[in-house]
Amino acid sequence: MRNIDYNNCNKKVHFIGIGGISMSGLAKILLAQGFKVSGSDLKLSPLTTDLGDNGIKVHLGQRKENITSDIDLVVYTAAVKCDNEELIEAKARNINCIERSQLLGEIMLNYKYSVGISGTHGKTTTTSMLSHILLQANTDPTIAVGGMLDIINGNIKIGNSDYFVTEACEYCDSFLKFNPLIGVILNIEEDHMDYFKDIDQIRCSFLAYSKKIPDNGYLIINGDIENINYFSDNLDCSVITIGLNSDNYTFSAVNISYANNIYPCFDVKYKNQILGNIILSVPGEHNIYNALCTIATSHCLNIPFGAIKEGLNLFKGTHKRFEYKGSLKGITIIDDYAHHPTEIRATLKTAKKYPHNKIWCVFQPHTYTRTSAFLEDFADSFELADTIILADIFAAREKNTGNIHSKDLLDKMKDKGMDSYYFPTFDEIENFLLEKCSPGDLLITIGAGDISIVGEELLGL
């Protein structure tokens, strides 16, 4: 039985941890559909204030008294533990309790054209690209994206149509609770090794995601993924591949060039037909792959190529994806979300095309398990940088076991002859950069934690 049916909105839904960027957005979607919504969080924030301004009751603190008899459904995040007072009380009252990803999957069932964009890298950028295209085509979509997107003034847009687009994250197999008509797989690599055992388990998870697509749906997949037949054979849905400079793919980018040596330009080849030319406003070869996935998705949705072309050209990037932050004494400061060796390589490959004298990277490793699992690869991934400065590992959801430290990465870098340094505080990093950087240099803060503070403080933001 479905918990979330837009044809039956006479329910009250309570969110434990409503202040999170994803949970707050889902709460607003349900409120717009006519559901009664409440929630709680451990602290107040601009997001909880915004929810309150929209008429949602937000409790400060998570206590059993917040679970009242009029609540029909409780939604919680993976961060909520089994000893949470509200979760215990809800179960004691026999209230149905579901995790956030299940809610998102049920929301998708209410849309005729639902798209889930998955992959180890590029989900937020690709979701944002597709959002621009759908908006340009006047489809009035509902959008749930993992970053802040200027065109929708946030991470959520509530539309009034049958179009729904969201990121589909593989962590904890969350995307296996989703129900996309169109499933996109951008790439598959080792990551989230605190949950997955190895690459084989990760590939098995993406295969299971592919199998969730219905027979009238589409799997859109990067044709360069190793042993692609593992994912594409024996599926009920249609399979569409994308890639560069080859007739082996359904959609291919050909005649690739770079405007100002940075921004990709290419012709789109569909089977044996050239559909037209695309000019991107975001840098890097990796964004050609992202764009091709959105082009293939849009084609399946019968979006005119003109809207595809214009939407992609209008997309200037999301925050923290090679985001220009400003200039200080002739030093250009960029911020990037990269937190995996492959993403770092892509970022620095893009940076090499950017005007610069020296490339300075300030890297904050993200989670202890990821740093430990890819220690050697992280060191190698910075080979295109001139100087690397390391901050302490950002713990995120993890606790420090004392088994790994940024100094271990520093040792690997120094063994490879890299000009590398470690400082335990942001103040020391900033002072070092102010002393050493010169006009014409390119400074990039890299990581999924709070390392962007370094660039922002240097700029006085």
**Domain ranges in the chain?**
12-99, 111-314, 323-459
Q: What are the residues whose beta carbons fall under 8 Å from the beta carbon of 68, sequence distance 6 or more? A: none
pLDDT, residue 189, reads 94
CATH topology of domain 111-314: UDP-N-acetylmuramoyl-L-alanine:D-glutamate ligase (3.40.1190)
Question: What distance in Å separates the CA atoms of residue 437 and residue 359, rounded to the nearest whole number?
Answer: 9
Residue 361 three-state SS: strand
Question: What distance in Å separates the CA atoms of residue 143 and residue 155, rounded to the nearest whole number?
Answer: 8
Q: How far is CA 298 from the centre of its chain?
A: 19
Query: What tokens does 230 get?
Result: 């593992």
Superfamily (CATH H level) for 323-459: Mur ligase, C-terminal domain (3.90.190.20)
CA-wise closest residue to 56 among 86, 92, 26, 90: 26
Rg, the chain, Cα only = 23
pLDDT, residue 147, reads 79
Question: What distance in Å separates the CA atoms of residue 119 and residue 204, rounded to the nearest whole number?
Answer: 13
Please, which residues bridge with residue 116 across strands? 166, 183
DSSP calls for 192-239: -TTT-SSHHHHHHHHHHHHHTS-TTSEEEEETTSTTTHHHHTT-SSEE
Query: What tokens does 141 get?
Result: 């979509």
pLDDT, residue 90, reads 97
Q: How far is CA 348 from the centre of its chain?
A: 19
pLDDT, residue 219, reads 98
Q: What are the residues whose beta carbons fall under 8 Å from the beta carbon of 234, sequence distance 6 or more? A: none
Pairing status of strand 182-185 against strand 218-222: parallel
CA-wise closest residue to 142 among 278, 318, 6: 6
Question: What distance in Å separates the CA atoms of residue 166 and residue 144, rounded to the nearest whole number?
Answer: 5
Amino acid at 247: D
Residues 169, 195 contacting (CB under 8 angstroms): no
- CATH number belonging to the domain at 12-99, selected among 3.30.200.20, 3.40.50.150, 3.30.110.30, 3.40.50.720: 3.40.50.720
pLDDT, residue 446, reads 98
DSSP calls for 170-182: -GGGGGGG---SE
Q: What are the residues whose beta carbons fall under 8 Å from the beta carbon of 461, sequence distance 6 or more? A: 325, 326
The list of the chain residues with pLDDT below 50 reads: none
pLDDT, residue 318, reads 81
CA-wise closest residue to 220 among 232, 208, 229: 232
Query: What tokens does 370 get?
Result: 């990821």
CA-wise closest residue to 311 among 136, 120, 139: 136
